[in-house]
Homo-oligomer: A and B are copies of this chain.
Amino acid sequence: MMLNPVTDAFAATLRARLPEAAFRPLTPAYLQEPRGRFHGSGGLLVCPGSTPEVVVLMRACAAARVGIVPYGGGTGLVGGQIMTDGPAPVILSLERMRAIRGVFAQENALVAEAGAILAEVQAAAAAQGRLFPLTLASEGSARIGGCLSTNAGGVNVLRYGNARDLCLGLEAVLPDGSVLNGLTRLRKDNTGYDLRNLLIGAEGTLGVITAAALKLYPQPEAEGAALMVVESPAAALALLSMAGRRIGGGVSGFELIGRMGLQFLAEKMPEIRQPFAEMPGWMVLIDLGLGAGQDPAAALEGLFAEAAEAGLVSDGVIAQSVAQRAAFWDIRERIPEANRKIGSVSSHDISLPLSVIPEFIARGGPALARIGDFRINCFGHLGDGNLHYNVFPAAGKTRAAYEHLRGAVKRCVHDLVHDMGGSVSAEHGVGRFKVEDLERYGDPAKLAAMRAIKGALDPLGIMNPGAVLRQG
């Protein structure tokens, strides 16, 4: 099943069948990913203006056996949007299909084309007093199609779920050019196999999502946040459990932040105000969104009092204003930026069963110390069991000095995660970066079933060749 490259003749065929507006210059942005680890080698950028135009394109590619690399906002971190080798593909961007087709406020639903920017979807919901809760650092450029194809996560997963949980229905073009008309706004529909969730998270290897019906939520009537100093990750978990019992579904975020993250902020971004006079070993950011007549500050005070009584927290600060809540979140959200300024040896997007997280953190440091001298910044979405476990050079050393250890570090962390029942890709996906990891750690029966499904739906292997599954 060798694919053919885009040739001048093939490009001419496409130009004859699609409007001129569908052809845009292939600027370098389409050939690189944010961390600079993947570089595309060329191809033809095609930007259809409608679902029928996507059909025309995909049929032509299937007939000519030309690969198609779907490209959303270009913010993926695992190279799913960049084909690094092989015959030059069509790069398919839905950037011209960005309409919000409808907001159904009473239904708490919104229908958007795949090229809509996440922030635009959030704004369209907010304009009608609703919340689209998917919230990511890259929301200003990520597109809904990419968010769904990668099953994006972010900071609100604890309460509202990931992209998968926020999708009611999909329209998609399958590799044979047929259109899956699943743009339902139904909350319940048990008529046949769940193709929606199969396409979500398939990273463009089974078809191209062209539009989606998304879930909205009421906007919380009252929001609040607190930072609480905890003795240990185990205490943080006990606090999470207590918060769930006391506040239930009102807990929107529960983020773990360690001393290393605060030190990196102090070192690289001293303008950010540190929340505690003495830098704590561990702290959590708790965010609440409550209904009418409820008082987030009071709920957080009650939680703190019970947690202090139980010996779980030793200090805390509750946001007294919208600005202070934003400042708390700013601490959390600028840690990745500080990380980039320090420069990691290896970064890991992992998840674990909640109860083993303390043990993982306890074992991770010593395991890495056997390889070299590192600083570890472990932080992230504790409520989801999702840690960003990033490994940095020791103070005063350069990233280059660790280049030869990068593979061993990744292997060490991922082996430990796998041994403890975790995932080596919690929210970023497989792309091309983690194809080997999937082969190493993935369940053999799952991989065989995935290959069978890929073969059944995309027998020519034209969709995002080499992503998720090695090209056959």
A residues lining the B interface (CB < 8 Å): 104-109, 129, 150-151, 153, 157-159, 162, 164-165, 174, 178-182, 184-195, 197-198, 200-202, 206, 217-221, 237-238, 241, 244-250, 289-294, 299, 302, 351-355, 381, 383-386, 421-430, 434, 437-438, 441-450, 452-453, 455-457, 468
Asked if B246 and A426 sit within 8 Å, CB to CB, the answer is no
10 closest pairs, A vs B, by CB?
A: A249-B249, A456-B456, A197-B197, A178-B445, A189-B423, A248-B291, A452-B456, A188-B426, A107-B354, A185-B353
Q: Which residue on B lies nearest to A448, using beta carbons?
A: B178
Asked if A193 and B188 sit within 8 Å, CB to CB, the answer is no
A180-B445, A194-B197 given; 10 more Cβ-contact pairs under 8 Å:
A109-B354, A150-B190, A174-B445, A181-B446, A187-B354, A188-B423, A191-B423, A193-B202, A219-B245, A246-B292
Q: What would 24 A/B residue contacts be, using CB atoms closer than 8 Å?
A: A107-B353, A129-B245, A178-B445, A178-B449, A180-B443, A186-B426, A187-B383, A188-B351, A188-B423, A188-B426, A189-B425, A190-B426, A190-B430, A191-B437, A193-B201, A193-B453, A194-B194, A194-B201, A248-B250, A248-B289, A248-B290, A292-B302, A453-B453, A453-B457
Asked if A188 and B162 sit within 8 Å, CB to CB, the answer is yes
- Compute how far the CA of A179 lies from the CA of B165 in the bound complex, rounded to whole angstroms: 26
Asked if B180 and A384 sit within 8 Å, CB to CB, the answer is no
The smallest C-beta distance from A402 to any residue of chain B, in angstroms, reads 26
The smallest C-beta distance from A161 to any residue of chain B, in angstroms, reads 8
- Compute how far the CA of A206 lies from the CA of B446 in the bound complex, rounded to whole angstroms: 13
- Compute how far the CA of A273 lies from the CA of B186 in the bound complex, rounded to whole angstroms: 34
Q: A190-B423, A384-B187 are in contact. Are A449 and B445 (CB under 8 A)?
A: no
Asked if A452 and B457 sit within 8 Å, CB to CB, the answer is yes
| Residue with the greatest number of chain B CB neighbours at <10 A, chosen from A198, A383, A427, A438 | A198
Complex interface: chain B residues within 8 A of A189 (CB): 351, 423, 425-426
Asked if B250 and A291 sit within 8 Å, CB to CB, the answer is yes
Asked if A434 and B191 sit within 8 Å, CB to CB, the answer is yes
Complex interface: chain B residues within 8 A of A425 (CB): 189-191
Q: A157-B188, A184-B421 are in contact. Are A353 and B109 (CB under 8 A)?
A: yes
Complex interface: chain B residues within 8 A of A446 (CB): 180-182, 192-193, 195
Q: Which residue on B lies nearest to A245, using beta carbons?
A: B218
Asked if B104 and A355 sit within 8 Å, CB to CB, the answer is yes
Complex interface: chain B residues within 8 A of A457 (CB): 449, 452-453
